[in-house]
Amino acid sequence: MGTRLSVSVERWPLANVFTIARGSKTEAVVVVAEIAREGKVGRGECVPYARYGETVEGVVAAIEAARPALEAGGNRQELQAAMPAGAARNALDCALWDLEAKLAGQPAWQLAGLPAPGPVTTAYTLSLAEPEAMGEAAAKAAHRPLLKVKLGTADDAARIAAVRRNAPGARLIIDANEGWRADNLAANLRACADAGVVLIEQPLPSSDDGALADVERLVPVCADESLHDRATLPKLAGRYDAINIKLDKAGGLTEAIALARDARALGLDLMIGCMVGTSLAMAPALLLAGQAKVIDLDGPLLLSRDREPGLRYEGSLVYPPDAGLWG
């Protein structure tokens, strides 16, 4: 038998409304690619993201366009050249990694030449809301060691204070999702420093982040929307202290591995992040978690239910995937 590609769209309800500076959502809409070859099936999941001009229909179409090459025996290296970075390539790249691991009878981390992954502590995300509501959410999650706080409004100092007051022992990451501006950047950095925040993600719009080079970064700043694949690394020098590697942006694990290597060579710290998806989307990213200072792979914790088998979460501790899930 030859190679067969199948693609499907899945909808996974969220446990609660998830709100960031750009809007709210009540479900995770994911695209799953499956590649069957020699009696084995590899799977990959991606999350089309409107911020990057992606739609579910467009991602499905891009995956379908790759069908002839894949079913003719195409590999990951050919995929990198044939498709741009983004969600569609991520689903196919991760499916090919999973397939290679199954065909070889070896775990994907071993095929990639990476250390064996172990359990890691993930951040847990607090959705953007009014300060009082965010304080209440922080109190409920105060037992978690690392909280990621969604911000990006004109009144973020009050939100930061409310979260810190209600979760005094947790390490805090702030994610403004491009919601701050140059004229409030310094004040917001100061509020974060006063609250003991350990990292700030993408405070300014990616098109206007030059101000980061001219302000005292009282807290390390991490590029998210300003960073996709290796081609976007050079412009980050002097503006950021870390990068958030998401497989959906990088276009798969293959590029993410290379991106992590090149970023560390430039002296940038790593954060491994995710879109809101199931355990199938988180599993490949866990192969890079050992290189990162911060891990944010809590997508399944935000769902009302995860796929089975899924990743094992014990509180904020997440374990590497079993072969039944991926890799």
pLDDT tens, residue by residue, 53-78: 999 999 999 999 999 999 999 999 99
Average pLDDT over residues 135-147: 97
How many C-beta atoms surround the C-beta of residue 104 within 10 A? 12
Q: What percent of the chain has pLDDT over 90?
A: 95
The CATH code of the domain that includes 25 is 3.30.390.10
Q: Which SS3 state, helix, strand or coil, does residue 322 take?
A: coil
CA trace torsion 273, 277, 283, 287 (10° rounding): -10
pTM: 0.95
Band the pLDDT of 18: cuts 50, 70, 90.
Answer: confident
Domain of 266?
120-318
* Residue count of the chain: 327
Band the pLDDT of 169: cuts 50, 70, 90.
Answer: very high
Q: How far apart are CA 46 and CA 16, in angstroms?
A: 21
Q: Looking at the structure, do residues 167 and 89 belong to the same domain, yes or no? A: no
What residues are labeled active site?
Answer: 150, 246
Q: Looking at the structure, do residues 213 and 272 belong to the same domain, yes or no? A: yes
Starting at the edge strand found earlier in the chain, the sheet holding 313-314 runs: 120-121, 317-318, 313-314
Q: How far apart are CA 10 and CA 146, in angstroms?
A: 29
> 277-293, pLDDT tens digit by residue?
999 999 999 999 999 99
> 68-115, pLDDT tens digit by residue?
999 999 999 999 999 999 999 999 999 999 999 999 999 999 999 999
Q: Looking at the structure, do residues 133 and 185 belong to the same domain, yes or no? A: yes
Q: Looking at the structure, do residues 97 and 164 belong to the same domain, yes or no? A: no
Tell me, yes or no, whether 126 lies in a domain: yes
**What are the CA-CA distances from residue 117 to residues 57, 129, 282, 290 (Å)?**
34, 35, 13, 7
Tell me, yes or no, whether 304 lies in a domain: yes
Kindly give, in sequence order, each residue whose CB lies less than 8 Å from that of residue 224, ignoring residues fewer than 6 positions away. Answer: 175, 177, 201, 202, 243, 244, 246, 273
Total domains, the chain: 2
Band the pLDDT of 323: cuts 50, 70, 90.
Answer: very high
Band the pLDDT of 154: cuts 50, 70, 90.
Answer: confident
Which pLDDT does position 1 carry in this prediction?
A: 64
Q: How far apart are CA 218 and CA 216, in angstroms?
A: 6
Band the pLDDT of 20: cuts 50, 70, 90.
Answer: confident
Q: Looking at the structure, do residues 152 and 277 belong to the same domain, yes or no? A: yes
